[in-house]
Structure 1
Amino acid sequence: MPACRVWGVNAAEDRIWTVPNLLSALRLLGVPVFLWLVLGPRADGWAVALLMLAGFSDWLDGKLARAWNQTSRLGRLIDPLADRLYILATLVGLVLRGVIPWWLALAVPLRDILLLWMPPVLRRHGYGPALPVHFLGKAGTAALMYAFPLLFLASHEGWYAEIAAIFGWAFAIWGTGLYWWAGVLYVVQVRQLTKG
């Protein structure tokens, strides 16, 4: 009986065809569409709508995965991958359009580059390819996902531009800070796990 239970857990973890994984895959497919909208026709309204939809689906896929017991290894890989690709695509779009300075566009992905050493170290010590996402990491990502549409809106002429700029920069600065703080916590976690 215990063997059956272990098999069931592994089978559940190895699922691919789940609603949350479908939402994450759709988010991944939206990344090149977003870049095209921003850099091609400069359809900022559609680009902002796509960003907002991506942010909502990010929240929804996690909610559904827990509520419907559809968490999986694939989901734990593609969900943060989709987040990072959206962040990177948005930073590229914002920089190339002159909306944000280069230092902000480099500060966010630099954290991920500096943490590339972690998966091989975790594997060598018998842990999964990545640590579970920390609450601060989720909060930082969420703040950045709020910041980017607001910064796009702030780059236009209109009554909303100044308000969007204030809130957009507040979310961008807090999001970047939380994103880096979560990175520090991941380093601490890896050091504790691999001490022995």
Structure 2
Amino acid sequence: MWTVPNALSLLRLLLVPVFLALIVQGSDVAALVVLVIASLTDLADGWIARRFGQVTRLGQLLDPAADRLYILAALIGFAVRGLVPWWIFVVIVGRDVMLIVLGVILARHGYGPPAVHRLGKIATFALFCGVPLMLLAVAVPATAAIAEPVGWAVTLWGAFLYWWSGIVYAVETARSIRIPVGGSSSVSDTLE
């Protein structure tokens, strides 16, 4: 449980409130530095876990949670400052709420959480690229002419894919709960 990758993931989680506070205060360069540190520890913890056989269930839970919390923190900070409209925050968080509801439904029918779908990974990757580009545009105004429109485009595309994958999860959940728990298929089998 207490492995180097898990410690790095925990460090990333502890930096989320710092990151949010920096964005809300308008300390964009410092927020960008924290985000770069978080991204580097994300790469390091995955590499170390795979390389040294330290993959744990805790790490598998902490890693995507940290990714989502950074996206959430950035969107909250941007919305508070009026840099993005609140609807973009609602769209992205709404999909995560939907997945929580689907997880509860699956649990009630004896299934575990849905396996991560490739489309969901692509959507999260797009958001994890688009949101930092938007931060870069604010932190380093010289980059704004390119970073801001590209950041917006990638973020909006990521939000679209995020919901598309959410619909895939909903359809698979509906299909899975019609199959008895001892049946021949499960969400984990179907979403790979």
Whether the TM-score (by the shorter chain) exceeds 0.5 is yes
Q: Which moved more, 1:113-122 or 1:23-32?
A: 113-122
Q: Is the counterpart of residue 124 in structure 1 residue 114 in structure 2?
A: no
Identity percentage of aligned residues: 47
1:159 alignment partner, SS class: helix
Distance 2:31 2:139 in 1: 14
Distance 1:155 1:143 in 2: 19
The aligned counterpart of 1:33 is: 18
* Structure-2 separation of matches of 1:56 and 1:171: 21
Tell whether the 8 Å contact from 1:35 to 1:93 is kept in structure 2 after alignment.
yes
Residues 24, 78 of structure 2: 8 Å contact kept: no
The reply on whether 1:170 has 2:153 as its aligned counterpart is yes
Deviates more, 1:145-154 or 1:53-62: 53-62
Q: Equivalents in 1 of 2:65, 2:142: separation in Å?
A: 35
Report how many aligned residue pairs link the two structures. 179
Change (3 A) 1:29 1:157: closer
8 Å contact kept, 1:27–1:82: yes
Paired residue type of 1:17: W
Give the equivalent residue in structure 2 for 1:137.
120
TM-score (norm. length: structure 2): 0.82
Which residue identity is paired with 1:171? V
What's the counterpart of residue 96 of structure 1?
A: 80
Q: CA deviation at 1:156?
A: 5.8
The change in CA–CA distance for 1:36 and 1:124 in structure 2 (over 3 A counts) is same
Relative to the length of structure 1, the TM-score reads 0.81
Distance 1:156 1:75, change over 3 A: closer
Match of 1:9 in 2: none
Contact 1:140–1:179 (CA<8 Å) still a contact in 2? yes
Query: Judging changes above 3 Å, is the alpha-carbon distance between structure 1 residues 126 and 72 closer, same or farther for their aligned structure 2 residues?
Result: farther
After superposition, the CA RMSD in angstroms is 2.0
Any unmatched runs of 5+ in structure 2? Answer: 180-192
Question: Residue type of the partner of 2:4?
Answer: V
